[in-house]
Structure formats: C-alpha cells, structure tokens
Structure 1
C-alpha cells in the first residue's frame, strides 16, 4: 500500500512538473510572439502621420463647416484605399528588398524615371507646403508668435527631428508615435466638447453624397490629403529596416505582421480624420459659422467651446506639422536617390522644399487655400505612384511568392480609375463653374 501510494504521488508530481513546464513553454512562446509582433510595428505609424497632416486639417474643416456630415464617406473610402495601397508598397519592399523608386529605376527606362522623379518631387513640395504651413500656423495661433518667426521655429524643430534619425529608424518611430498620440488626445478632447450628432454622422459615413461642384473640389482635396503619393514611395523603404537576411517564409510572415501594423495605424488615422469632420460639422456648420481659414477655425472654437478646445486644436496642429515634416524629409530622400540616383545634401533638399511655404507666408496668401490646393495637387500626382507600383507587383519574376493575385490587380486598377475620374470631375467643374 505504502509503495503504491508513493508511486502514485511520484506520478502526480511528475505530471505536475510536466504541466508546469508546458505552461512555462507556452507562456514563453506567447511572450516571444508578442515581442516579435511589437518588433515589426512602427513603419505604418510613421506613414500614418501623412494621413493626419495639416492638409487634412484644411480639407476636413472645409468639408465639415460647409457640408455638415455629408463628406464623411470620403474619409472612409479614402482610408480603405490607403490601407490597400500601403499594403502593396510594403509588400513590394519586403518581396524585392528595394524601395519603389529603386525598383522603378531597375524596371523602367531612364526617360520614364525622369518623369516619375519630377512628379514625385512636385508631390514632395506640395506635401512639405502643407506640413510647414500647418506647424507654423499652430505656433502662431497657440502662442501668438508672428508667422515669420513661427516659420523659423518650425524649420529648426523639423531639422532636429530629422537629425534624431542618426540614432536609427526606431528612434524616429518613437518620436513620431508620441506626436501621433498628442494629436489623438487633442481630438478626443474636441469630440467630447463638440458633442456631434452620431446618428446623422453614421448615415453620411455609409451613404455617399456630393451636394455641388464645391463639394467635389473639397472631396478630391480630402482624397489627396488622405491617400498620399510620397508615403507610397516611403513605405517600401521603411520596411527594409526589418527585412534583412530573411527566408521566403520569413518574408511572408513579415508581410502578415506589416499588414497588421497598417490596419492599426491607418484606422487610428481614420478616426482622427473623421473626428476633424465631426467637430467642424458639430461646431461650425451647426452654428452657421463660415470657415475660410484655419485662423478662423481656431478663433471660432474659443467662444463656441472654450479655451480647452482652441488650445487642443493648436497643439494638434503643431504635432501634426512637425511629425509629418520629418516623414516628408525621409520620403524626399527616398525619392531623390531612387529614381535617378541623384545625391544631394539632406539639409539643402529640406531647405528647397521649405522655400514655397516661406514665400507664401511672406506674400500673405491665405494659408488655408494654399493647404487645400496642395492636397488637390497631390491627388493629381497619385496615379504616377500607383501605376508603376501595380505594374511591378504583378510580376512574379520580381515579387516571387508575394506576387499580386488577380483580384489584387483588379482592385488596384479600380482604385486608380476612381482617382482619375475624380480628378477629371474636378477639372470639369473648375473650368465650367
């Protein structure tokens, strides 16, 4: 009896030890996987900054103040397009080991690449215009600093964020993630104070409508502000940091995790953009306040919602401008060196792209109109980024196992067609209105 009892006790103890070891192994495996997932999160958060840059402030405020919740559906569909296109860009970078401009340099003729490069540089200048003006306006509105001096402060801080890049991509990702968190917190405050009509907003989120030709202009501006050509180029470069010495299986896993990164980051950007329209509609349209500039938006928030709202707005604008400025610089470097192999000092390149914004500040031109027009320009340039990406990612000899499926190619061409049609409508209404 005693020996049998001892044997049973030993069996139980052994079974308990095995169970504990299994639990520890499972825990360590889950911990490793969670750490591994966190390791791959980051590039899409850098990219997401471009989707909530000051150009979005201008187009979203215009859309909400003039057309209530009618244009919310544009934000939703633009975001879905952005998820699709950024996934393609990341996949190209992971599959080939090169960024999109570099692949264009390998696949297309020299003349074609010069054309792509010119359009990409125009996109970078339009982007930097929005970024620089936005942050400058933020300092001017929040701290009452004259525009010229606010522009100098913006330039210095932008150079500083770019300088941090010398400590590695993760350092830049960390800083930009903090600035994105500031924007999210600011618009959480705005939504809480504005109290939008959620039922009406839900209807317009799902049912498309374009009340008039001006709505078409703003809708195309929203599209250009949300689906950005320069970050389509950049995303394929950012994934390279985590794309070293990978097997085919590793690349497939890398792409799966990067898609998760994209879905999380892009949906955060969608919530922020939708919040901008919601606040603008709930505050300005509801009270019959016509908003023609970001300064008016800031000043109108104070009497309507109080100092907390106007302060949050200015802080979000600064964070948006500074973070997107750093992203614009990285995109500019990728564009410059990829298509035609031009090497130029990064600081000189940054100064050149800042110059149009400084000229607008000195000329006294309405910054909000400049912001909206810059986003429309980006919408026209989008096909020059999307089409070569589609042509490359459909080739199995370049993409291997990550080559596009037929349905992916079809969706890509549908999105391209929608953008081209939207631009054609804009031209029609501009010259016939």
Structure 2
C-alpha cells in the first residue's frame, strides 16, 4: 500500500506536521506574484523617484489589507469547494451577472496589459528587442507556462511561479545592498499623508497594483483546486480547520515576501533615483540604476522585471479563465484567451504609447475594480449559510469592511481631485 501524500496526512492527523504544512503551501505564492508585477514596478519606482519616502505608508497599509483579503478568498474556496466567481454566478441574475463579468474582464485585461508591457520592456532593456516583438515573445512563453497548470499539474505550476518569484525578489532587492535607504526617511514615510493631487493618483495606482482584483478571484480557485476539487466531497470540519491553519501560514509568508519586494522597490527608487531627471519611467530608472550602481545591478533588475512579467501574465490569464468559467459557465482554450488578451498590449506598444504611463494607468483602472470584488467577498465570507461554523467573526469582518471603505474612499478622492477639481 502506498504512503499517503503530505496533503492527506494534514487532514487526517490531529495537528499539521512540518512536512504536511510544506505540502500545503503554494496557492498563496501563485496569487502573490500578482502583487509584484510590472505595474507595481512602475508605480513604486515612480513614487520613490518623485516623492522619496513619502508614500511608504501606502504600501504597508495595502500589504496588510492584501493579507487579510487573500486569506478570505482562499478560505472561501476551501470551505465551500467553489471559487468566488462560481458563487457569484449562482447568485446573480442574468443581466447583473453579465455586467459583473464585463467589469471583471476589463480589470483582468488592464492587468494583462501591464504584465505584457512590463515583460516587453525587460526584453528591450536586456536585448534591445522592439517592444511589440517583445510582447509577442512574452505571450508565447506565458502560454508555455500555462500548459504546466493544466492536466492536474497545479503543483508543477506553483513551483514554476515560486521559482520566478525568487528571481523577482533577487532582481528588485539587490540594488538595496549597494544603495541602502535612509532610516529616518523610511520612518517618516510611515506617517500617512499626501502632497497634492499627483500623490493621490500615485497612491491609487500603488493600491491598485498591490490589492489585485484578479488575484482575489483566482486565489479562491487555486485553493479550491488544491484542497477541495469537488464541492460534493465531504470534508470533516476538523480537516477544514487544519487546512485553514496551513492557509494562514501560506498567505502570511507569500504576502510578506511580496510586501518586502514592493517596499524595497520604492526604497531603492528613493535612495538611488531621487532628484534625477527621467527616473519616473522604467527605462529612465533602469538607466539611473546602471549609472549609480553599475551594469551588473542593472541586468539583475531587468531580469527581475522579465520574471515578473512572465509569471504575472500567466497568472493573469488563468484568472481571466476562472472569471469567465465561474460567471458565464463558458470555457475557452487558454491559447485563444492568451491571444485575445495579448493583442491590446501589442497595439498600444505598436502605436508608441509610453510604456510606463500605460503601466501606471492600468493600475489606476485596477484600483477602481477592487470594490467590486471586495464587497461580494466580505458578504459571502460573512454569510453563515454559506460558511457554516467558519463564517467570519466580527473582528475580521470589521477589518475587511474598513479596508473596503478605505479603497472606495481613496478612489472617491482621486475622482474629485483629477476630474471635478480640474
């Protein structure tokens, strides 16, 4: 008789052993790659280069919110055996369901544009490949990565994404070894404040790049597929509780790493790029990093950007498929979806649109999609009929509702300052 797998051990014993715990980690790391995508790079480098340490507090707050939200998403998938889009698709009337799908797909498309553009920029920085051709190369490689996710090979896909996440971490944090941040500036940056409408726009962009709607949708599916492949299979409450314990570790570890990378990017820009002309774009920032820290650090940074684009666009494409399958009950081949979501990025780059501007703007679009995923998530995880004994307790619900209110409030201020105020 074969030995039970680590996952099986974890739900049959009275405690989660270290071996079993390691076997359960993974879904949150796949979701976390969305938090260090090229949109983050553009937003964080721009914030650090233009305003120094002023907006460090935005990243800290956004990362805490992300931990809370991603845990709720994973919890929903584990407890119910269904993804967030599936649960919404069952409860929304037809017209509302199609409208909701449309906004979710637009947000996912904005995400994919940022990720493909970022990968194309990295290929241009490394090899001088024209941006439209680079976008095509990123699309092809991401499709190869997606093949690892199919045919019940989720673990292989997770390991590939974790490997790319490690490259991203090294690529974006190496510069801090040669240009450490000012400790006093970092502490001052933890005090919440703005310095005009432009900083509000950047804060919204950073928030949209950190709390990612498509990552929330996909995390519920990833956790479901790993731990509850069928909602009809009964899992004892004690086993569910142990899975949730492992999930908390998964989320905390993955999002803490993503948070360190994000904050590190801003600190690198503040310590290295501040006061230099042209450093509010990725090519300009890369050139300044090369000039200040040397070509080796510049290459490492560009490799990190490439890994970020490749991994995050693969996850983004998978998220789009999850959204469509859950809300419309339609499944299309990943290759067709990959081509459809790749075209807008190629067109933008072929038209000569500034890549960094496109990245930052895409993150603003994402920030407006956050309430549409947060509010339903909070309602579902707070519904005892759906979650049973695992329904969110009031402290967690209050924290989640506060996070949603902050996001909606920031977007409202952004609208007032950039539209009405102009």
TM superposition score normalised by structure 1: 0.90
Aligned to 1:183: 168
Instruction: Write the distance in 2 (CA, Å) between the matches of 1:303 and 1:141.
Output: 14
Instruction: Write the distance in 1 (CA, Å) between the matches of 2:349 and 2:247.
Output: 39
**CA displacement 1:10-69 (0-9 Å, x = unmatched):** xxxxxxxxxxxxxxxxxxx99981111011100000011000000000000110000000
- Bigger Rg, which one: 1
Aligned to 2:26: 42
Instruction: Write the distance in 2 (CA, Å) between the matches of 1:47 and 1:65.
Output: 27
Of stretches 380-389 and 159-168 in structure 1, the one that deviates more from structure 2 is 159-168
Q: Number of paired residues? A: 403
From 326, 329, 337, the equivalent of 1:338 is 326
Contact kept? 2:38, 2:114, Cα under 8 Å: yes
From 187, 192, 203, the equivalent of 2:177 is 192
Instruction: Write the distance in 2 (CA, Å) between the matches of 1:218 and 1:130.
Output: 16
Aligned to 2:128: 144
Q: Does residue 1:376 correspond to 2:360, yes or no? A: no
From 374, 389, 403, the equivalent of 2:377 is 389
Q: CA RMSD in A?
A: 1.6
Shift of 1:290: 3.8
Of stretches 376-385 and 343-352 in structure 1, the one that deviates more from structure 2 is 343-352
Superposition map of 1:220-235 within 5 A? 220-235=204-219
Contact kept? 1:65, 1:290, Cα under 8 Å: no
TM superposition score normalised by structure 2: 0.93
Q: Does residue 1:357 correspond to 2:351, yes or no? A: no
Instruction: Give the match's secondary structure for 1:196.
Output: coil
Structure with the higher helix share, 1 or 2 = 1
From 121, 130, 134, the equivalent of 2:105 is 121
Q: Which runs of 5+ in 1 are unaligned?
A: 1-28
Q: Does residue 1:273 correspond to 2:258, yes or no? A: no
Instruction: Write the distance in 1 (CA, Å) between the matches of 2:280 and 2:62.
Output: 24
From 208, 211, 224, the equivalent of 2:195 is 211
Aligned to 1:254: 243
Aligned to 1:107: 91
Aligned to 2:291: 303
Q: Which runs of 5+ in 2 are unaligned?
A: 1-12
Aligned to 1:401: 389
Q: Does residue 1:283 correspond to 2:268, yes or no? A: no
Contact kept? 2:173, 2:265, Cα under 8 Å: no
Q: Does residue 1:243 correspond to 2:232, yes or no? A: no
Instruction: Write the distance in 1 (CA, Å) between the matches of 2:334 and 2:166.
Output: 27
Contact kept? 1:66, 1:290, Cα under 8 Å: no
**CA displacement 1:193-221 (0-9 Å, x = unmatched):** 122112321231x2112111100000100
Relative to 1, partners in 2 of residues 1:238 and 1:74: Cα closer, same or farther, differing over 3 Å?
same
Instruction: Write the distance in 1 (CA, Å) between the matches of 2:29 and 2:251.
Output: 8
Contact kept? 1:284, 1:290, Cα under 8 Å: no
Instruction: Write the distance in 1 (CA, Å) between the matches of 2:297 and 2:193.
Output: 29
Which of structure 1's runs of 4+ aligned residues deviate more than 6 A? 29-32
Aligned to 2:39: 55
